[in-house]
Amino acid sequence: MKLFSRILICSVWLLLIGVGVFAMQKYSMTPALPGIAPQQWPASPSLKMIEGKPALVMFAHPKCPCTRASLSELSRIVSNRQDRVMAIVVFMNYATEQNSWDHTNLWDQAVSIPGVQVVSDEQGELSHRFGAVCSGETYFFDSKGNLAFHGGITSSRGHEGDNSGHDAIVSLIQGYATETPTHPVFGCSLKCLHSHQEETL
């Protein structure tokens, strides 16, 4: 085989790999579009703040694989800080008569995090109040109910590890201000439920 042919074959192979790797990184690094968050803790009969304690709320899709990393990050944030923050994971509930969404792996993972309250968002009421549109979207309200952070807490899609969202929340819990009150969210979309809700409402 001639040299040119050999170079061509190898180049095509490397190019295909390059395309694959680029797509991998592109998918991994492309965040979801977050919803519009309320600046104050939204009043809700099913979810109330504890007075004098900041609140950390994460919305999660019960089967979103990317949210596994978000829950892990949440676990790292809350660990040893349970007494300083009220942590809540709100799972969307898409239950129908034919299909149950209770107690998925992610639900079990969230329940296992010490100091974390897990609630099910029946009919999408909470996500609607908070304006959450994608899984892993997290909110931090200070003890006065003011929104201090809104965004994701993973560095990329489904990728655990330190990131600025994680760092911002830890700073806020410790009583410091943060220069990064937001961070991209990487997770599955919750919007179908919203659409359904909006249509219903």
Partner 1 sequence: MTKHTDSGCLYNDTIETRAREIFAEDRQHVYQYTDRMFAGLMIVQWIGAILAALYISPLTWDGASSAIHFHVWLAIFLGGILASFPVYLVWRPIAGIPTRYVMAISQVLFSSLLIHLTGGRIETHFHIFGSLAFLAMYRDWKVLIPATLIVAVDHLLRGIYWPESVYGISGVILLRSFEHAAWVLFEDFFLILSCRNSVKEMMASARQRAELESTKYAAEAADLAKSEFLANMSHEIRTPLNGILGFTDVMIRGIANTENERREYLGHIQTSGRHLLELINNILDISKIEAGQMTIELRSCSPHQVISEVLSIMRVQAQRKNIDLEYIWHSQAPESITTDPTKLRQMLLNLVGNAIKFTDCGSVKIEVQLDITQHEPLLILDVIDSGIGIPLEKRANLFEPFVQADSSVVRKFGGTGLGLAISRRIARALGGDVVIKDTQGSGTTFRITINTGSLDDIFMLPAPSSDALQSQRENSQKEIIQLPQGKVLVVEDGEINRKLIEAVLAESGLEIEIAENGQIGVEKALQNNYDIILMDMQMPVKDGYTAATELRQSGIETPIIAMTAHAMLDDEQKCLAAGCSGYLSKPINISRLLTTVADALYVPHQVDAIDTQAAEAEDNERNDHPLISSLPTHKPVFAKVVVKFVDYLEEQLIMIQEAIDNGDHARLAWVAHDLKGAAGSAGFADFTEPAFRLELMGKNKDLHAAQASLVELTKLSKRIVVPEIEVLA
Q: Which residues bind partner 1 (CB under 8 A)?
A: 1, 3, 6, 9-10, 13-14, 16-17, 20-21, 23-24, 27-29, 61, 63-66, 68-69, 92, 94, 99, 135, 155-156, 158-164, 167, 188-196
Instruction: Tell me how far, at minimum, the Cβ of 184 lies from partner 1, in Å.
Output: 12
Q: Which is nearer to partner 1, 68 or 117 (CB)?
A: 68
Q: Which is nearer to partner 1, 78 or 155 (CB)?
A: 155
Instruction: Tell me how far, at minimum, the Cβ of 16 lies from partner 1, in Å.
Output: 5
Q: Which is nearer to partner 1, 23 or 111 (CB)?
A: 23
Instruction: Tell me how far, at minimum, the Cβ of 191 lies from partner 1, in Å.
Output: 6
Q: What is the DSSP string of the chain?
A: --HHHHHHHHHHHHHHHHHHHHHHHHHHH-PBPP-PPPSBPPP-TT--PPTTS-EEEEEE-TT-TTHHHHHHHHHHHHTT-GGG-EEEEEEE----SS---SS-HHHHHHHTSTTEEEEEEGGGHHHHHHT--BTT-EEEE-TTSBEEEEE--SSBTTB-S--HHHHHHHHHHTT---S--EE-B-S-B-HHHHHHHHHH-
Q: Which is nearer to partner 1, 27 or 43 (CB)?
A: 27
